[in-house]
Amino acid sequence: MTSSANPGARKASEERLDEIRKAAADAALPLRNAPVSHPQIRGKESYYGLPVLKAPVWTWEVALYFFIGGVSGMSAALAFAAQLFGGEAALIRAALFVALTGAVLCPILLIADLGRPSRFLNMLRVFKVQSPMSMGAWILVAFSGCVFVALVAFELTQRGYAIPLVIGIRWAAEASGALTGLFLAAYTGVLIGATANPVWSHNRKAIPPHFLASAVGGSGAVLELIGFLTPATQLLGFVAAVAETVLGIYFELSRLPVNSPLHRGKSGWAFRIAGTLAGPIALLVRLLSDSASGRRAAAICFLVGALLSRYAWIWAGVASAKDPEALFQIQRKA
Amino acid sequence: MLNSDAILIMGSNMAENHPVAFQWVMEAKEKGSTVIHVDPRFNRTSAVANMWVPLRAGSDIIFLGALIRHVLENELFFREYVLHYTNAPVIIQNDFGDTEDLEGVFSGWNSEKKSYDPASWMYEGAAQDGKKSSAPKASESEGGHTQHGAAAMPDLSKYKTDPTLQHPRCVFQLLKRHFARYTSEMVERYCGVSEESFLRVADVYCKASGPEKTGGICYAVGWTQHSSGVQIIRCAAILQLLLGNMGRPGGGIMALRGHASIQGSTDIPTLYDSLPGYLSMPKFGEESKTFQNYLAKYKPRTGWWNNYDKYIVSLLKAYYGDAAQPENDFGFHWLPRLTGDHSHQGYWLDMMDGKMDGLFVMGENPAVAGPNSGMERRALAKLKWLVVRDMVDIETSSFWRSAPEVQSGEVRPEDIQTEVFLMPAAGHAEKDGTFTNTQRLLQWHQKAVDAPGDSRSENWFMFHLGNLLREKAKKDPQPKNAGLLALTWNYSTEGPHQEPSAEEILKEVNGYTVADRQLVPGFTALKADGSTACGAWIYAGVFPKAGENRANQRASKDFYGHGWGFAWPSDRRIIYNRASARPDGKPWSERKKLVWWDEAAKKWTGNDVPDFVATKPPDYVPGENAEGDNALAGDKPFILHADGLAWIWVPTGLADGPLPAHYEPFESPVSNPIYPNQQVNPVAQSKTRAGNQYASSPDARFPYVLTTYRLTEHHTAGGMSRTLSHLAELQPEMFCEISVEMAHELTITPGEWVTVVTKRGAIEAHALVTPRVQTLEIEGKLIYQVGLPFHWGYTGLVKGDVGNDLIAISEEPNVRIMESKGLLCNVLRGRRADNVLGVKELLEAQKVAP
Amino acid sequence: MTISAFLTDATVCIGCKACEVACKEWNEVPADGFVWSGLSYDNTQSLGASTWRHVMFLEQPQTAGPQIADTKDPFRWVFLSDVCKHCANAGCLEACPTGSIVRTDIGSVLVQKDVCNGCGYCIVSCPFGVIDRRPVDGRAFKCTFCYDRQKAGLIPACAKACPTQSIQFGNLEELQERGNNRVHELRERGYEDARLYNPLETSVGGVHAMFVILGEPENYNLPPAPEVPTIYLKSAWTSALLSAAIAFVIACVAFAH
Largest CA distance in chain C: 83
ipTM of the complex: 0.96
Q: Which residues, numbered 6 to 45 in chain A, qualify as contacts with chain C under a Cβ-Cβ cut-off of 8 Å?
A: 38-45
Q: Rounded to an integer, what distance in angstroms lies between the CA atom of residue B118 and that of residue B140? A: 7
Residue A13 scores a pLDDT above 60: no
Q: Where are the domains of chain C?
A: 4-226, 228-257
Residue A27 scores a pLDDT above 60: no
Element (H, E) at B502: helix B502-510
Q: Could you tell me which chain C residue has the CA closest to the CA of A203? A: C236
Q: Provide CB contacts within 8 A for B677, sequence distance 6+.
A: B103, B104
Inspect the interface and report whether the beta carbons of B750 and A36 lie closer than 8 Å: yes
Q: Does residue B19 sit at the C interface (CB-CB below 8 Å)?
A: yes
B169, B122 Cβ separation under 8 angstroms: no
Provide the pLDDT confidence category of residue B795 given band limits of 50, 70 and 90: very high
- B451 and B344 in one domain? yes
Q: Rounded to an integer, what distance in angstroms lies between the CA atom of residue B201 and that of residue B195? A: 10
Average pLDDT of span B818-834: 95
Q: Provide CB contacts within 8 A for A239, sequence distance 6+.
A: A216, A217, C250, C254
Give the best residue of A40, A47, A123 to mutate against chain C (max C CB count within 10 A).
Answer: A47
Q: Provide CB contacts within 8 A for C193, sequence distance 6+.
A: C63, C64, C65, C214, C215, C216
- B225 and B305 in one domain? no
- B326 and B230 in one domain? no
pLDDT given at position B142: 60
Q: Does residue B26 sit at the C interface (CB-CB below 8 Å)?
A: yes
pLDDT given at position C73: 83
Q: Rounded to an integer, what distance in angstroms lies between the CA atom of residue B390 and that of residue B364? A: 8
Q: Does residue B766 sit at the C interface (CB-CB below 8 Å)?
A: yes
Provide the pLDDT confidence category of residue C141 given band limits of 50, 70 and 90: very high
pLDDT given at position A1: 34
Q: Could you please report the per-residue DSSP string of B147-199?
A: S--SSS--BTT---B-TTS--TTBHHHHHHHHTTT--HHHIIIII---HHHHH
Each residue's pLDDT tens digit, B342-351: 999 999 999 9
Q: Could you please report the per-residue DSSP string of B516-554?
A: TTEEPSSGGG--SSSSEE-S-GGGTTSS-STT--GGG-B
B642, B301 Cβ separation under 8 angstroms: yes
Residue C8 scores a pLDDT above 50: yes
DSSP bridge pairs for C110 = C102
Give the best residue of C17, C50, C78 to mutate against chain B (max B CB count within 10 A).
Answer: C17
Rg, chain B, Cα only: 27
**Looking at residue A277, what DSSP letter applies?**
I
Q: Does residue B567 sit at the C interface (CB-CB below 8 Å)?
A: no
Q: For residue A209, which of A96, A309, A65, A87 has the smallest C-alpha distance?
A: A309
Q: For residue C61, which residues of chain A lie inside 8 Å, CB to CB?
A: 40, 42
pLDDT given at position C69: 85
Q: For residue A218, which of A60, A101, A62, A69 has the smallest C-alpha distance?
A: A69
Average pLDDT of span B638-645: 95
pLDDT given at position B845: 81
Measured over the CA atoms of residue A73, residue A78, residue A81 and residue A87, the dihedral's sign is: negative
Q: Rounded to an integer, what distance in angstroms lies between the CA atom of residue B469 and that of residue B484? A: 8
Neighbors of chain C with 3 or more C-beta pairs under 8 Å:
A, B
Each residue's pLDDT tens digit, B438-451: 999 999 999 999 99
Q: Could you tell me which chain A residue has the CA closest to the CA of B835? A: A1
B500, B515 Cβ separation under 8 angstroms: no
A36, B743 Cβ separation under 8 angstroms: yes
Average pLDDT of span B499-523: 97
- B287 and B251 in one domain? no
Element (H, E) at B499: strand B499-500
Q: Rounded to an integer, what distance in angstroms lies between the CA atom of residue A118 and that of residue B362? A: 51
* Average pLDDT score over chain B: 94
- For chain B, what is the domain count? 4
- B202 and B61 in one domain? yes
Give B839→chain C minimum CA distance, Å. 25
Q: Evaluate whether residue B354 is within a structural domain.
A: no
Residue B706 scores a pLDDT above 70: yes
Neighbors of chain B with 3 or more C-beta pairs under 8 Å:
A, C
Out of C40, C48, C221, closest to residue A46 by CB: C221
Each residue's pLDDT tens digit, B450-481: 999 999 999 999 999 999 999 999 999 899 99
Q: Could you tell me which chain C residue has the CA closest to the CA of B729? A: C34
Residue B361 scores a pLDDT above 70: yes
Give A324→chain B minimum CA distance, Å. 22
Q: Does residue A2 sit at the B interface (CB-CB below 8 Å)?
A: yes
A282, A244 Cβ separation under 8 angstroms: yes
Q: Evaluate whether residue B587 is within a structural domain.
A: yes
C52, C143 Cβ separation under 8 angstroms: yes
Q: For residue C131, which residues of chain A lie inside 8 Å, CB to CB?
A: 54
Q: For residue B3, which of B166, B169, B247 has the smallest C-alpha distance?
A: B247
Share of chain B above pLDDT 70, in %: 97
Each residue's pLDDT tens digit, C201-213: 999 999 999 999 9
Q: Evaluate whether residue B134 is within a structural domain.
A: no
State yes or no: cis peptide before B698, omega within 30 of 0.
yes
Q: Does residue C165 sit at the B interface (CB-CB below 8 Å)?
A: yes
What's at B743, amino acid-wise?
A
Q: Evaluate whether residue B808 is within a structural domain.
A: yes
pLDDT given at position B128: 55
Average pLDDT of span B799-814: 97
Each residue's pLDDT tens digit, A222-280: 999 999 999 999 999 999 999 999 999 999 999 999 999 999 999 999 999 999 999 99
Phi–psi pair at A235, nearest 5 degrees: -60, -45
Each residue's pLDDT tens digit, A44-103: 999 999 999 999 999 999 999 999 999 999 999 999 999 999 889 999 999 999 999 999
Inspect the interface and report whether the beta carbons of C216 and A44 lie closer than 8 Å: yes
- B563 and B508 in one domain? yes
Whole-model pTM: value is 0.93
- B606 and B458 in one domain? no
Give the residue numbers spanning the domain of B517: 262-348+441-574
What secondary structure, in 3-state letters, does B695-710 show? CCCCCCCCCEEEEEEC
Residue A8 scores a pLDDT above 60: no
Within its chain, how far is the Cα of B572 from the centroid?
A: 21
Q: For residue A10, which residues of chain B lie inside 8 Å, CB to CB?
A: 841
Coil, helix or strand for B322?
helix
A175, A147 Cβ separation under 8 angstroms: no
- B333 and B188 in one domain? no
Q: Around Cβ A287, how many Cβ atoms within 10 Å?
A: 12
Residue B748 scores a pLDDT above 70: yes
Q: What is the CATH number of the domain that holds B776?
A: 2.40.40.20
Q: Could you tell me which chain C residue has the CA closest to the CA of B724? A: C31
Q: Does residue A30 sit at the B interface (CB-CB below 8 Å)?
A: no
Inspect the interface and report whether the beta carbons of A3 and B837 lie closer than 8 Å: yes
Cα→Cα distances A261→A73, A192, A199, B716, C126, Å:
28, 15, 8, 47, 20
Q: For residue C6, which of C226, C196, C250 has the smallest C-alpha distance?
A: C196
Inspect the interface and report whether the beta carbons of A13 and B848 lie closer than 8 Å: yes
Q: For residue A78, which of C252, C244, C257 has the smallest C-alpha distance?
A: C252
Q: For residue B743, which residues of chain A lie inside 8 Å, CB to CB?
A: 36, 38
pLDDT given at position B477: 85
- B811 and B712 in one domain? yes
| CATH architecture for residues A59-194 | Up-down Bundle (1.20)
A305: burial class by Cβ within 10 Å (0-12, 13-18, 19+)? buried
What secondary structure, in 3-state letters, does chain C show? CCCEEEEEEHHHCCCCCHHHHHHHHHHCCCCCCCCCCCCCCCCCCCCECCECEEEEEEEEECCCCCCCECCCCCEEEEEEEEECCCECCCHHHHHCCCCCEEECCCCCEEECCCCCCCCCHHHHHCCCCCCEECCCCCCEECCCCCHHHHHCCCCCHHHHHCCCCCEEEEEHHHHHHHHHHHHHHHHHCCCCCEEEECCCCCCCCCECEEEEEECCHHHHCCCCCCCCHHHHHHHHHHHHHHHHHHHHHHHHHHHHC
Give B378→chain A minimum CA distance, Å. 27
**Looking at residue A280, what DSSP letter applies?**
I
Q: For residue A125, which residues of chain C lie inside 8 Å, CB to CB?
A: 98-99, 115
Name which of A254-258, A303-307, B212-216, C90-94 the model is least confident about. A254-258
Residue B178 scores a pLDDT above 50: yes
pLDDT given at position B260: 85
- B446 and B327 in one domain? yes
DSSP bridge pairs for B737 = B768, B787
Each residue's pLDDT tens digit, B62-80: 999 999 999 999 999 999 9
Q: Which residues, numbered 54 to 83 in chain B, qualify as contacts with chain C under a Cβ-Cβ cut-off of 8 Å?
A: 54
Each residue's pLDDT tens digit, A164-190: 999 999 999 999 999 999 999 999 999
Residue C160 scores a pLDDT above 90: yes
DSSP bridge pairs for B7 = B35, B216
Residue A17 scores a pLDDT above 60: no
pLDDT given at position B844: 85
Q: Where are the domains of chain A?
A: 59-194, 198-323
Out of C118, C138, C223, closest to residue A52 by CB: C223
Inspect the interface and report whether the beta carbons of C68 and B23 lie closer than 8 Å: no
Q: Rounded to an integer, what distance in angstroms lies between the CA atom of residue B61 and that of residue B373? A: 28
Give the best residue of C39, C53, C70, C162 to mutate against chain B (max B CB count within 10 A).
Answer: C70
pLDDT given at position B154: 73
| C-alpha torsion B677→B680→B684→B687, nearest 10 | -110
- B531 and B476 in one domain? yes
Q: Does residue C102 sit at the B interface (CB-CB below 8 Å)?
A: no
Residue B234 scores a pLDDT above 90: yes
Q: Which residues, numbered 103 to 122 in chain C, qualify as contacts with chain B under a Cβ-Cβ cut-off of 8 Å?
A: none
pLDDT given at position B843: 86
Provide the pLDDT confidence category of residue B143 given band limits of 50, 70 and 90: low
Average pLDDT of span C180-194: 97
C232: burial class by Cβ within 10 Å (0-12, 13-18, 19+)? buried
pLDDT given at position B7: 98
Average pLDDT of span B696-717: 95
Q: For residue A243, which residues of chain C lie inside 8 Å, CB to CB?
A: none
Out of C14, C30, C70, closest to residue B48 by CB: C14
Q: Rounded to an integer, what distance in angstroms lies between the CA atom of residue C38 and that of residue C35? A: 9
Greater confidence (B3 vs A1) lies with B3
Q: Rounded to an integer, what distance in angstroms lies between the CA atom of residue B305 and that of residue B711? A: 40
* CATH classification for the domain delimited by C4-226, as one of 1.10.760.10, 2.130.10.10, 3.90.45.10, 3.30.70.20: 3.30.70.20
Q: Around Cβ C188, how many Cβ atoms within 10 Å?
A: 9
DSSP bridge pairs for B424 = B390
Average pLDDT of span A192-217: 97
